[in-house]
Structure 1
């Protein structure tokens, strides 16, 4: 989709060699709906964000692009990289680099994966029902998260993680797996380690001890 073109003010500033219009795109490629719907993000639902770094040469073409902060869905991140590669910006005196913040809302959280079940077992339980039987449910340790935030420069960021797990007959947790990644593998690992430590009162289905599976959702916030 092509816009009508830069504003008069923008043209004037570019003529003077100023960078005040560096953030105004003359040409933007929209993300194809079919490609978006094919992503894991679309299957899982929810709100997804991405930070993409681009560098624009003096002619206005994007010559460098990289994912600075991933969404958690590699395919979605690649779509964003394809999008910025097609953009054209006003001419400038020298190369300039900037970050582009993408947001995509796929509606309410949905399923998309289940922890493995054994033959004849019952499937997942309501999250509220499962959490209501928790005996030991620590949060992800702040010191480990703080260490990641410092090394990854994540101040001011918010990440969403969805992790699936099963509760065994004795109340211990098994089959812990990341369903929705934060895009930062180290954060996902901390969450999995935390969930693996949880303990529950054993469940019964139809009056018999049962292994059940469920999901936990985490909003990981790092102060700015």
Structure 2
């Protein structure tokens, strides 16, 4: 059985991606939540479970194989199951989807920093920096292009739920948490994402978590 180690569901955006990827694979897995930065976290970081990742989550153990990056987890599971579960069948759409997933994986540092993921809070609209506003424009452009060119088969970016939606799921959550205004087409996409049963499951679990990490609370409230 696969074993997925994740951090707090309320705060860990990368854990959300890894968890959604395993759910999308359809494979049975053991889920282990390790509260970030507490005693258990520090203890596990010193052991073999965390060693390959350098102490970061998510970490997927598949027998002796260890995969510790969210996009790598997507690719591992796509190879292990069926790539069509994760990526569009059409070659042109697949190229765009791969590019969008990779850009999400490596970009938007300002949005990440100024709007850290926090699933137990809702903040009123706030003044965002010019850098964040530029990143929002880019995200909406990508979403619009994907929906217009390849989204005819369903409500998600490329029609059916897949790897790109997995990668952008924490962005959807940030838009909700910080009451960020979005275009109408983006709101429709976000509604579809928020209604997805897996995201509903994750959100419900996040509300029930007993752990509070003060530095994340302060960072979210201070922006």
| Shorter-chain TM band | under 0.3
Higher relative contact order (CA 8 A, sep 6+): 2
Instruction: Give the number of the structure whose residues are more often strand, by fraction.
Output: 1
Q: Name the structure where helix makes up a greater proportion of residues.
A: 2
TM-score (norm. length: structure 1): 0.25
Relative to the length of structure 2, the TM-score reads 0.25
